[in-house]
Chain A
């Protein structure tokens, strides 16, 4: 391995939002993985997803830690001017959770919500609570999520709708930036939020919230954050991009190793990144979350960075997000928007960059999401790849070849009649 001097390293400017799932970028920069690829990976902490998107769009940053649907929205040109973007690597799977105020939790518990994070039963309890509020003329519950184009938005909506709750009619969904989530919950401006770690654990630690359920329980192995960049930059810098992807892959494997979690928690908890107690950062990394005070639960696959192809940019993930954009009225389903969504995720770039390494890569670019009930060996580059279990909590499957029928199968959607 050739170690070049930092001065001769090629600069890559990257933006991130302080969340546990930017660990891979931080580790690549701080633990020498980028330098080993001859890169000077310069990290800038940003304040809003809108800033990240705009500053990547005008070239202030080469790449960024992004909400997985953000590059798709930008390529389609919705909510923003059209800037073709690509995602050649996922920053991992899972990592966020749904936290309710202690007051709402009391209501849910009284309505039969279990303490194990089971989305089906908690969804039923939530429906009862919402109905009771409606009967007694109380205002609708207000839930925070982080951005219109985020998995938090789509996962939360998916879960509410599957529980018979219309996310646009039976509750109010508002955007709350991650650093404000705990304060907003404390002040009573919102009744619950869906956000990445460490904010759920910080709400629990502050005694103001309880983690009701997690992304891993709603859709195990589902996407959350990605590496996003302008398509133009990826096109113009194939060598630099390849080196960056290798650095991020090695960093991701390092992050997945439980033996490194203490060090990683310490690094991420520092003032430049999460600025929180290391033991709180560690909860998300280990998946041993305190759902309530002194109620530890081990959440399988709560967050995965690279192992078991967790950083592979599945086209089927892109298309699932696209299906939800259509379902909730953000995007119209046309051959053009479909093609734009599909072209944003670039497994070909991932394969090209990692080809020389002993990385277990799936042979397929897409899969039927929710089809693996247990760990299953799949066709891969080195014959050593196990995938799953994955799947949606309601047992539904998403076939990326049959998107229109999938969308139409939901009774609750933007133009549908369902709900309470």
Chain B
């Protein structure tokens, strides 16, 4: 099997994660990457693509449909197997921890398989980190907004400058051992009640 024409199918309903993985695979020289986002007629689509490797996320119940490809050699032209050889449990663990699994056709060289699975693992992990960072950024933005609101409430109701209002919030947060954003939120809620 020529490595140049390696074909990989990615089954993932998460568009962003699929794009990140697709990107990585292309950058590593895989020419044909097909992303399947819809569940319907999964086996038929795979038969048409006839991939050498199928990568699927573990949150996808369709994984059980893939398992049938081990069994029904009439459905797919080439037999498919789990991505590991018996000895490499570290790789399985890393993959499952990252939330990904891969199915490989028989006869693909094991170094090539390893590099692809490693890529999938690292991209899945990168995606998780990205998710966490996005979440943090979203929270930070929300925090900043509520602090701005609280400052302007204090400035109006207590005739403070912006700096004084901020200092008051900060001191109160320190005295109460709470986050600045929490105190700001309380101010906004209280102001709403006193309206």
Contacts and interface: CB of A to CB of B under 8 A. Distances in A.
B60, B68, B71, B85 — most chain A CB neighbours (10 Å) = B71
B41, B61, B86, B93 — most chain A CB neighbours (10 Å) = B61
B65 A176 contact: yes
B65 A54 contact: no
A386 interface: no
B66 to A, nearest CB: 8
Contacts of A148: 67-68, 70-72
Contacts of A49: 64, 67
A47 B60 contact: yes
Contacts of A289: none
A304 interface: no
A280 interface: no
B157 interface: no
Interface in A51-76: 51, 54-55, 57-58, 60
A179 interface: yes
Nearest to B93: A58
Interface string A134-175: 000000000000111000000000000000000010000111
Contacts of A174: 43, 65, 68
Interface string B73-103: 0100000001011100100110010000100
Nearest to A168: B74
Nearest to B65: A175
B59 A47 contact: yes
B86 A146 contact: no
Q: How many residues of B sit at the interface, in one of the four size bands?
A: 20 to 34
A177 interface: yes
Contacts of B63: 47-48, 50-51
A330 interface: yes
A48, A57, A78, A187 — most chain B CB neighbours (10 Å) = A48
A139 to B, nearest CB: 12
A160 B72 CA distance: 17
A363 interface: no
B61 A48 contact: yes
Contacts of B113: none
Interface in B26-79: 39-41, 43, 58-68, 70-72, 74
Contacts of B71: 79, 148, 330
B64 A175 contact: yes
B28 to A, nearest CB: 25
Given A81-B82, A175-B67, 14 more contacts: A47-B58, A47-B61, A47-B63, A48-B63, A50-B66, A54-B96, A54-B101, A60-B96, A148-B71, A168-B72, A173-B72, A177-B65, A179-B61, A189-B40
Interface of B: 39-41, 43, 58-68, 70-72, 74, 82, 84-86, 89, 92-93, 96, 101
22 contacts: A47-B60, A47-B63, A48-B61, A48-B62, A48-B64, A49-B64, A49-B67, A50-B63, A50-B67, A50-B101, A51-B58, A54-B101, A57-B92, A58-B89, A58-B96, A79-B71, A148-B71, A174-B65, A175-B64, A175-B65, A180-B61, A189-B41
